[in-house]
């Protein structure tokens, strides 16, 4: 009898907690910024927050130092009507997005704001920071969410994207999510300039632990200033595989991308062979992309690579092997030698203006 009463009381408490969570839903979105602007992927997290419930105030958390941080905060306040507050953490500790100080910051903001949800995108930023913050808050994160069916029910891919799993979160607040930006596209929204945008508040960092920097140290930033669009948000992506045989031959992919105004991608095999840096890798262990046009040259179509690009609107594949798995997902396929096809394309395509 005592056990039955205990279970009933626990069920009532769980029901009350769930009802309270749904009524008082509020979301903290972890945002990245660069050059004084919010990254497009972070706005996808805001779109995901809108799917949780109708009355869901969204707070955007920005961290960094210097004038670019405050410029990004001003733009963030007016970039989306769903954002009700912009929180700014200005400190040299956040000059670079290291996981340890960011996790401590999220713990601090959560204890003060008592948010029902914390959302970040499933990129290197979100995947590095959110699990550590979840451990500090003693909750289990739900990762790689591609659809939201309610405040606590989500859909995420499993088995390299070959199956979709429905997950119901039954833990304590906050419910922490990473979402795929390609599944929550940002549509053009007109923001009323007369409303003045969201409020901007400084986060009180006086209680932040001095040892919150942790054991990681920023060493250097290596980036390629090519003028090409970002791989994660480009409308056209041109990808090369191991069949290109060398880094010198891979330059053909780069030239084609320049003519098309496209981003350059690569398979894991091409990255492991040293043809290109690993930040260009597309696939399960690389970047997830869903451009309007995806062109694959010398890509066999391994399941790990398909998991990162099969949601592209139009897929064009060129491969010598007519039985290559890439042709099973391609909208247009050409069985041919890429060393003949690419030069012909370069010759016939006009120069980008």
On whether 119 is known to bind a ligand per the annotation, the reply is: no
Do 152 and 18 meet the contact criterion of CB atoms below 8 Å apart? Answer: yes
Q: Which helix (H) or strand (E) segment is 150 a member of?
A: strand 147-150
- 38 strand-pairing partners: 33
Alpha helix segments (H runs only) across 91-246: 99-113, 124-137
On whether 329 is known to bind a ligand per the annotation, the reply is: no
On whether 84 is known to bind a ligand per the annotation, the reply is: no
Place of tokens 């670079």: 96
Angle formed by the axes of helices 124-137 and 99-113, nearest 10°:
50
On whether 107 is known to bind a ligand per the annotation, the reply is: no
Strand, coil or helix: 321:
coil
On whether 216 is known to bind a ligand per the annotation, the reply is: no
On whether 303 is known to bind a ligand per the annotation, the reply is: yes
How far CA 277 is from CA of 239, 250, 281, in Å, comes to 13, 12, 8
Q: Which of 238, 345, 221 is nearest to 291 (CA)?
A: 238
Q: Which of 200, 215, 212 is nearest to 91 (CA)?
A: 212
On whether 282 is known to bind a ligand per the annotation, the reply is: yes
- For residue 51, with 0-12 CB atoms within 10 Å meaning exposed, 13-18 middle and 19 or more buried, which class applies? middle
Which is it for strands 147-150 and 153-158: parallel, antiparallel or unpaired?
Answer: antiparallel
Strand, coil or helix: 271:
helix
Q: Please give the structure tokens belonging to residue 217.
A: 């140290």
On whether 13 is known to bind a ligand per the annotation, the reply is: no
For the chain, how far is it from start to end, CA to CA, in angstroms? 79
On whether 68 is known to bind a ligand per the annotation, the reply is: no
Distance CA 246, CA 276 (A): 9
On whether 301 is known to bind a ligand per the annotation, the reply is: yes
Sign of CA dihedral 96, 101, 102, 105: negative
On whether 283 is known to bind a ligand per the annotation, the reply is: yes
Residues tagged in the binding site annotation for FAD? 242, 267-268, 281-285, 298-305, 319
Residues tagged in the binding site annotation? 242, 267-268, 281-285, 298-305, 319
């Amino acid at each position: 009898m005592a056990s039955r009463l205990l279970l009933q009381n626990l069920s009532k408490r769980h029901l009350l907690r769930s009802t309270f969570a749904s009524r008082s839903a509020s979301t903290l979105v972890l945002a990245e910024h660069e050059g004084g602007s919010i990254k497009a992927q972070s706005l996808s997290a805001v779109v995901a927050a809108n799917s949780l419930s109708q009355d869901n105030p969204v707070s955007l958390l920005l961290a960094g130092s210097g004038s670019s941080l405050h410029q990004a905060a001003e733009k963030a306040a007016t970039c989306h009507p769903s954002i009700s507050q912009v929180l700014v953490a200005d400190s040299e500790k956040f000059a670079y997005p290291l996981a340890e100080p960011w996790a401590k910051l999220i713990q601090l903001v959560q204890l003060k704001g008592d948010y029902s949800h914390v959302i970040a995108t499933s990129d290197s930023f979100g995947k590095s920071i959110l699990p550590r913050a979840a451990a500090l808050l003693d909750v289990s994160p739900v990762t790689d969410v591609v659809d939201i069916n309610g405040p606590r029910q989500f859909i995420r891919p499993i088995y390299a994207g070959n199956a979709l799993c429905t997950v119901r979160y039954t833990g304590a607040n906050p419910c922490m999510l990473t979402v795929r930006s390609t599944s929550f596209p940002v549509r053009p929204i007109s923001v009323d300039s007369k409303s003045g945008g969201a409020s901007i508040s400084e986060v009180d960092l006086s209680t932040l632990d001095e040892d919150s920097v942790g054991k990681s140290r920023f060493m250097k930033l290596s980036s390629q200033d090519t003028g090409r669009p970002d791989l994660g948000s480009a409308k056209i992506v041109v990808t090369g595989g191991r069949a290109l045989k060398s880094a010198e031959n891979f330059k053909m992919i780069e030239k084609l991308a320049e003519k098309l105004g496209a981003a350059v991608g690569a398979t894991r095999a091409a990255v492991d062979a040293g043809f290109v840096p690993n930040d260009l890798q597309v696939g399960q262990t690389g970047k997830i992309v869903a451009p309007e046009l995806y062109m694959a040259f010398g890509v066999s179509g391994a399941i790990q690579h398909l998991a990162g690009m099969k949601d592209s609107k139009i897929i064009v594949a060129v491969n010598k092997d007519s039985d290559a798995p890439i042709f099973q997902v391609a909208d247009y396929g050409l069985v041919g030698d890429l060393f003949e096809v690419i030069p012909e394309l370069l010759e016939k395509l006009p120069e980008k203006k």
